[in-house]
Chains A and B, each alone.
Chain A
Amino acid sequence: MRETPDFRNQRKQPAVLALGVVLGSVLLWRVYLAPTVASIQTTREEIGSERLLLERELALTRQSGALADGWAVVSANLLARAPGLLPGQEPGGPAAALEAYVRGRAGEVGVQVVFPSGGAVQSDTTGLIRVMHEVRADTDLEGALALLHGIERGPKLIMVSELDLLRSAVDLQAGGSAPEHLELHMIVAGWAMAPEGFEKPAADEPETNFEALR
């Protein structure tokens, strides 16, 4: 008896083989190829960013000579302007220095000044801190002008941001014949170097009280 080939199974073999190839391909893609392709993409991006950083760093190192020259220039500028800054970097230090400086200038021209409130400190994005103080004084016009002149022309960089001069009612009633008597109220501001990492005022200090000062 001649054997009959199993044609049905023979016909199924290519389909089973194709199915196996498809499933194997999908499995290979999911398990190996897709993660590898993702890794390749990630590595390429890393290479791109690293190359960009390398180019920047190389350009930076090539500018070392120019940087040295620039350093010398800005250092000289800073040294020239350093006397105009208020001393002290710790919180409260510049405010006290500003108060002492204004009091000293007032004393030189014979004006008694009062600081009714504590100083306000405001950080500056440029690396400076701005210290503000409210100043009151009872003086005549000559004293007021001498005080203002002394503050503005002194060695420290002080700015009078607000100024109120008021002639007293006594003078008005006297019709200008009585001795001059002025109420002086002003807000002075000075600058100091911010300490390293100083971005905000300390928690116990108000960030700004300009409105209150006015």
Chain B
Amino acid sequence: MVRLFGVRDRPLLLVGPEEVSASVPAGRRTATASFGPSLPTQCVDVNLDSSDAVAGLAEATAAVREELEVPTGTIVDIALMRPLVSVRTAALPPTAPLRLVRLLEVNAARFFPWTDATIASVLSVSPRRRPQPSAPTLIAGVRLVDCETISRGIIDGGLRIGRMTAAPLLLATALASKRSRSQTMSGGESPEPVLFLTPLGSAVEATMVQRGQVLKTVAWPIAVGTGGTEADRQARCAIELLQLIGDAGWAFSQVILPDGTFASALAAALPDASLAFGEVTTACMSTATDEPIVRLLHAGLAAAVAPTAELFTPDAAATMKSRNRRLAYAIGVTAAVLLVGMPGVHLWGLGRELSYVRDARSAIAESAAVALETQTTIRRISTITDRLAQVERDRTSWSSMLMSLAFELPKSAYLLAVDGGEDGLRLSGVTGDSVETREALLRRGRSGVSWHAAFDEALGTVRFEAESEVPIAGMSESGTFPAGESQR
């Protein structure tokens, strides 16, 4: 049974400060139930935050639900009437509907200066889906606590809430929409501004429309306890409203009224009213229905731009919260994946680079090993040959040195001992001429030669000792052995 109601055919629950009206558009049936406590007529700051209000609203909701035979759990749309909602015109930037709603939420206190204004609803009456900067935009605000109370009462009454919006905005939308207007009323097609007067619960709404564009809207509460029928009270309220509009300088060419007792009563009362407009022509809606206002509301609900025509019900808020959580979760997961994945990807890249370098080394490993071995061998052989050359160059030629000494020493001298090594050369011998012998040893420029000579009485000659600290190397190579001088 629930599935029989599509979004466009949902039952509409019109909630006012004193009563609840439900309507099913398919069967054109309406039901109304009142709940207490009754509210002051001009109370703008309505407070339904009480258990009594919730219980009364739940009881009234259940009554209309049973009367219209709407099953329990059916999703219904909610339209809040004044003064539960406050409506005003605002120039808003050309922003996407969803962002516009967020903007209004943030600036709710600016547009609706209630002390605890925490939420706002916006309904663009522009026929385009996005509000234009030059077009006035009707926005409605409701206190969050009232929204919650109403939601709780309706849910306790056995219904589920689909969309929750403001009834004045639905009316304005219906009046501004040519399609909706053609289905529900005549008139309003004039290029001149026209004024729609619609009784709505405890107030009468006046909306000035020109070429499908809502210019202004205002509501005036119906005074209670002034006698007469409801239609008479609505007519008196409408006349008061028209007087206010005249004083405000609104200019319009025609007043359009809903068909029914309200129109008749107002038409009867107008001649006696002293209005500033002079002659006011009236036109009525062409379709004679029992509840034209309800039809307007349904038409406005259908014509409303869906994302911007809703107040945030608890379900919608939960949905948005869930969406935000999912978005935050997705962002968090993405960040975590990046945080975890980036080092891994970087390490993987480094591993590939390392394997590439190693492959390059492997490709030339054989030739490089051969070249390295060749280089090492060349160095080793060069070291060996250099060492051998150095040995050959630095080795002492003892035979040449001894022959040189034999030739250089005077004939009176002969050697007794020769002691040579890497640290030097020591000579000892006897001589008859120590001076000549010493000069002979020093003649060839040997440095560091120490000389010691003493007369040996036993031998009867001079015994000398000479020592050179410098190793004697590379002595002159004088060729063959001097056999004749060997006795020296």
Within 8 A of A (CB), among B411-444: 414-422
Report if B47 contacts A (CB, 8 A): no
Pick the contact of A54: B344, B351, B360 (CB < 8 A).
Answer: B360
Q: Does the CB pair A145–B399 fall under 8 Å?
A: yes
Q: Does the CB pair B416–A167 fall under 8 Å?
A: yes
Q: Does the CB pair B384–A126 fall under 8 Å?
A: yes
Within 8 A of B (CB), among A46-81: 46-47, 50-51, 53-54, 57-58, 60-61, 63-64, 67-68, 70-71, 74-75, 77-78, 81
Complex CA–CA separation, A40 to B488 (angstroms): 84
Using Cβ atoms and an 8 Å threshold, which residues of chain B touch A53? 361
Pick the contact of A145: B374, B395, B419, B481 (CB < 8 A).
Answer: B481
Report if B248 contacts A (CB, 8 A): no
Within 8 A of A (CB), among B374-425: 374-375, 377-378, 380-389, 391-392, 395-399, 402-403, 406, 414-422
Using Cβ atoms and an 8 Å threshold, which residues of chain A touch B395? 152, 159-160
Overall SS of chain B's interface:
helix
Report if A124 contacts B (CB, 8 A): yes
Pick the contact of B391: A28, A64, A157 (CB < 8 A).
Answer: A157
Pick the contact of A165: B364, B385, B391, B417 (CB < 8 A).
Answer: B417
Complex CA–CA separation, A206 to B391 (angstroms): 23
**Proximity bits, B348-383, A CB within 8 Å = 1, else 0:** 001101100110110011011001101101101111
Complex CA–CA separation, A124 to B390 (angstroms): 14
Complex CA–CA separation, A128 to B350 (angstroms): 47
Q: Does the CB pair A47–B350 fall under 8 Å?
A: yes
Report if A142 contacts B (CB, 8 A): yes
Report if B43 contacts A (CB, 8 A): no
Using Cβ atoms and an 8 Å threshold, which residues of chain B touch A67? 371, 374-375, 378
Within 8 A of B (CB), among A4-56: 28, 32-33, 36-37, 39-40, 43-44, 46-47, 50-51, 53-54
Q: Closest chain A residue to B422 by CB distance? A: A161
Complex CA–CA separation, A148 to B33 (angstroms): 145
Complex CA–CA separation, A2 to B419 (angstroms): 125
When A36-B343, A161-B421, A167-B417 are in contact, do A172 and B378 touch as well, CB less than 8 Å?
no
Report if B340 contacts A (CB, 8 A): yes
Q: Closest chain B residue to A64 by CB distance? A: B371
Q: Does the CB pair A54–B486 fall under 8 Å?
A: no
Report if A205 contacts B (CB, 8 A): no
Using Cβ atoms and an 8 Å threshold, which residues of chain A touch B483? 142
Report if A96 contacts B (CB, 8 A): no
Instruction: Give the interface residue-count category, chain B.
Output: 35 or more
Using Cβ atoms and an 8 Å threshold, which residues of chain A touch B357? 47, 50-51, 54
Q: Does the CB pair B385–A74 fall under 8 Å?
A: yes
Pick the contact of A126: B378, B387, B403, B481 (CB < 8 A).
Answer: B387
Complex CA–CA separation, A166 to B415 (angstroms): 9
When A64-B367, A146-B481 are in contact, do A77 and B398 touch as well, CB less than 8 Å?
no
Distance (whole angstroms) from the CB of A164 to the closest CB of chain B:
5
Report if B337 contacts A (CB, 8 A): no
Q: Does the CB pair B350–A44 fall under 8 Å?
A: yes
Complex CA–CA separation, A142 to B344 (angstroms): 88
Using Cβ atoms and an 8 Å threshold, which residues of chain B touch A157? 388, 391-392
Report if B347 contacts A (CB, 8 A): yes
Distance (whole angstroms) from the CB of B429 to the closest CB of chain A:
8
**Proximity bits, B477-488, A CB within 8 Å = 1, else 0:** 000010100111
When A141-B486, A165-B418 are in contact, do A28 and B339 touch as well, CB less than 8 Å?
yes
Within 8 A of A (CB), among B318-350: 339-340, 343-344, 346-347, 350
Using Cβ atoms and an 8 Å threshold, which residues of chain A touch B360? 54
Report if B51 contacts A (CB, 8 A): yes
Q: Closest chain A residue to B387 by CB distance? A: A126
Report if A197 contacts B (CB, 8 A): no
Pick the contact of B354: A46, A64, A70, A148 (CB < 8 A).
Answer: A46
Report if A1 contacts B (CB, 8 A): yes
Using Cβ atoms and an 8 Å threshold, which residues of chain A touch B420? 162-164
Q: Closest chain B residue to A2 by CB distance? A: B51
Using Cβ atoms and an 8 Å threshold, which residues of chain B touch A176? 414, 487
Distance (whole angstroms) from the CB of B354 to the closest CB of chain A:
5
Report if B1 contacts A (CB, 8 A): no
Report if B459 contacts A (CB, 8 A): yes
Pick the contact of A43: B339, B354, B398 (CB < 8 A).
Answer: B354
Distance (whole angstroms) from the CB of B350 to the closest CB of chain A:
4
Using Cβ atoms and an 8 Å threshold, which residues of chain A touch B388? 81, 84-85, 128, 157, 191
Using Cβ atoms and an 8 Å threshold, which residues of chain B touch A28? 339-340
Distance (whole angstroms) from the CB of B290 to the closest CB of chain A:
38
Q: Does the CB pair B385–A61 fall under 8 Å?
A: no
When A127-B383, A172-B459 are in contact, do A32 and B340 touch as well, CB less than 8 Å?
yes
Complex CA–CA separation, A160 to B353 (angstroms): 61
Q: Closest chain B residue to A41 by CB distance? A: B350
Pick the contact of A160: B344, B350, B396 (CB < 8 A).
Answer: B396
Complex CA–CA separation, A165 to B427 (angstroms): 10
7 residue pairs, one from A and one from B, having the closest CB atoms: A57-B368, A148-B399, A149-B399, A165-B418, A159-B395, A74-B381, A36-B343
Query: Could you list 25 examples of A-B contacts with CB < 8 Å?
Result: A2-B51, A36-B343, A39-B347, A40-B347, A50-B354, A50-B357, A50-B361, A57-B365, A58-B368, A68-B374, A71-B374, A71-B377, A74-B381, A81-B389, A126-B386, A141-B402, A148-B398, A152-B399, A157-B391, A162-B420, A163-B420, A163-B421, A165-B418, A172-B416, A176-B487
B residues contacting A by CB (< 8 A) are: 49, 51, 54, 339-340, 343-344, 346-347, 350-351, 353-354, 357-358, 360-361, 364-365, 367-368, 371-372, 374-375, 377-378, 380-389, 391-392, 395-399, 402-403, 406, 414-422, 459, 481, 483, 486-488
If A46-B354, A78-B381, A163-B419 are given as contacts, then 8 extra A-B residue pairs at C-beta distance below 8 Å, sorted by A number, are: A1-B51, A47-B354, A63-B371, A70-B378, A74-B382, A78-B384, A148-B402, A193-B384
